[in-house]
Amino acid sequence: MIDIKFLRENPDIVKENIRKKFQDEKLPLVDEVIELDAQNRKAKQEGDDLRAARNRISKEIGALMAQGKKEEAEGKKAEVAAGAKRLAELEVLEGELQEKITKIMMVIPNIIDPSVPIGKDDSQNVEIQKYGEPVVPDFEVPYHADILESISGLDKDAAGRTSGNGFYYLMGDAARIHSAMISYARDFMIDKGFTYCIPPFMIRSSVVNGVMSFAEMEAMMYKIEGEDLYLIGTSEHSMIGKFKGEMVPEESLPITMTSYSPCFRKEVGSHGIEERGVYRVHQFEKQEMVVLCKPEDSMDWYNKMWSYTVEFFRSLDIPVRTLECCSGDLADLKVKSCDVEAWSPRQKKYFEVGSCSTLGDAQARRLGIRTKGENGTYFVHTLNNTVLATPRGLIAFLENNVNEDGTINIPEALRPYMGGKDKIYPTRK
């Protein structure tokens, strides 16, 4: 959510930003909110004038009573009573106007960074750089579900019976490598100086509204029936919400955290839940990184954060690339975002395994997360990035480490988490 003062003073910049995001239907909202804001400020001013008059007249009444001028005092009391009635009306009006303003401001997109490429959708995202050689072996790489089944590691039929489509059981070595990757991701980020956290896996609607747009919430989140709680779609939601309403000491910035959580997503409007595989599912696990920092430091942290994900995947012998998200592919709260994509030797293309975003002060403004420095009080900047989301990370690992004979190489970085094993062997042909 952008600053209403900025919108009021720069309506043309806000409108141009909306055009860059190909959301022209939102253009009338700028003029609408400016008019509502003018009405609200006028009502506030009238209310302030009435309060000042009430204080002044109250003193006059006291003086008149002391002088025995009861009739004049009664006239002043009537004047105060009339002012009180109008003040009550204004307070109701201010509340109604503020509610309308907030509702509109919540859907006007954040101002994107000037470096963001302009494009309508993800098909116009721009490759930044490749890391590692994308190798296609001289044998046919099996579908990831077949690799998992060859080591007796996947049971979607049973999950279908217990939970429905979009769920899965991981078994044996498949479950072990999955957990090994998560544990390694945790330790990888701790070694980068991040504080390890395990957050609540459910959050209230006030936090949801602070960290994401309503459209995203509807498409992603599961609501707990009868309670003001939602299952998280990523631990970023809980981690940013942790600071809701707080005045964060400036000397504590930057706050750098890495958090583990299961994640739950409805995947409404997605490309569909896979029948056999585990690329797009309702439940997965994730190691995330979250940073709260000063505005002047946010872009430096953005570049550090995505580079950590690249480094993590390269340490597992997985080629990756970074992809700059274009304007039309950015969620409304995001200032700038890039995806990290892993190489799929089976598909001979890259696929998304992580996303890094800086949101400026949008989330902090919604949630009231502030700090105080030499130049006064200001909202902090928030950033988030995926270290590892699995089973997508597991798919990338399997495809890039499977051998023609069906064995799966375990990179050196993961061996301490696998009891020293350097290979996984198939249990079935």
Q: Are residues 71 and 138 in the same domain?
A: no
Q: Are residues 234 and 354 in the same domain?
A: yes
**Given a cut of 90, is residue 63 above it in pLDDT?**
no
Residue 82, Cα to own-chain centre: how many angstroms?
Answer: 49
Contact status, residue 319 vs residue 132, Cβ threshold 8 Å: yes
Mean pLDDT of 194-202: 97
Q: Domain range holding 95?
A: 4-105
Can you tell me the distance from the alpha carbon of 299 to that of 293, in angstroms, rounded to the nearest whole number? 10
**Given a cut of 70, is residue 116 above it in pLDDT?**
yes
Q: Are residues 128 and 101 in the same domain?
A: no
Range with the poorest average pLDDT among 75-84, 99-108, 144-153, 322-331: 75-84
389 φ, ψ (degrees, to nearest 5): -120, 120
Q: Are residues 156 and 226 in the same domain?
A: yes
| Domain boundary pick from 105, 130, 148 | 105
Q: Are residues 217 and 270 in the same domain?
A: yes
Q: What is this structure's pTM? A: 0.89
Can you tell me the distance from the alpha carbon of 148 to that of 170, in angstroms, rounded to the nearest whole number? 8
**Given a cut of 70, is residue 270 above it in pLDDT?**
no
Q: Are residues 99 and 130 in the same domain?
A: no
400 φ, ψ (degrees, to nearest 5): -90, -5
In a domain, 12, yes or no: yes
Q: Are residues 200 and 73 in the same domain?
A: no
In a domain, 409, yes or no: yes
Q: Are residues 291 and 336 in the same domain?
A: yes
* Average confidence score pLDDT of the chain: 92
**Given a cut of 80, is residue 276 above it in pLDDT?**
no
In a domain, 113, yes or no: no
**Given a cut of 80, is residue 314 above it in pLDDT?**
yes
Residue 62: predicted pLDDT: 78
Q: Are residues 31 and 180 in the same domain?
A: no
Residue 263: predicted pLDDT: 95
Q: Are residues 261 and 302 in the same domain?
A: yes
What are the C-alpha distances in Å from 162 to residues 125, 130, 169, 276? 39, 41, 10, 16
**Given a cut of 80, is residue 380 above it in pLDDT?**
yes
Residue 89: predicted pLDDT: 87
**Given a cut of 70, is residue 271 above it in pLDDT?**
no
Task: Grade residue 75 by pLDDT with cuts at 50, 70 and 90.
Answer: confident
Task: Grade residue 429 by pLDDT with cuts at 50, 70 and 90.
Answer: low
Count how many domains the chain has.
Answer: 2
321 φ, ψ (degrees, to nearest 5): -140, 160
Pick from 302, 307, 311: nearest CA to 357: 302
Mean pLDDT of 280-286: 93
Task: Grade residue 65 by pLDDT with cuts at 50, 70 and 90.
Answer: confident
CATH of the domain at 204: 3.30.930.10
Residue 107: predicted pLDDT: 92
Q: Are residues 127 and 90 in the same domain?
A: no
Residue 273: predicted pLDDT: 58
Residue 84: predicted pLDDT: 82
Percent of the chain scoring above 70 in pLDDT: 98
3-state secondary structure of 12: helix
Q: Are residues 305 and 405 in the same domain?
A: yes
Can you tell me the distance from the alpha carbon of 340 to that of 333, in angstroms, rounded to the nearest whole number? 20
